[in-house]
Structure 1
């Protein structure tokens, strides 16, 4: 699986602000809502979910 430049940027943004990385990958939807909730509960769960969403595709 080859990463593109946009994938690398999304992964970096997922570490800085997890909902932004998810938004760039999937747009406004249920994944974004789940990630916002997880990020509010704790930074680490938000990062894990963002990486899962970005690397899933």
Structure 2
């Protein structure tokens, strides 16, 4: 079985990416922008945070 783990650096980068994508999602949502951008930013943010939630971080 393959072990999937994150280093602290990758976990930090994923957290920053999730925050930026969440901010972009909110910006597009408030401006009533294109639906495809909502999907893009929303799925990217969700993927980043789900990865952080379910993949262990090992120093």
* TM-score past 0.5 threshold: no
Higher percent of residues as helix: 1
TM class by smaller structure: 0.3 to 0.5
Larger radius of gyration: 2
TM-score when scaled to structure 2? Answer: 0.33
Structure with more relative contact order (C-alpha pairs < 8 Å, separation 6 or more): 2
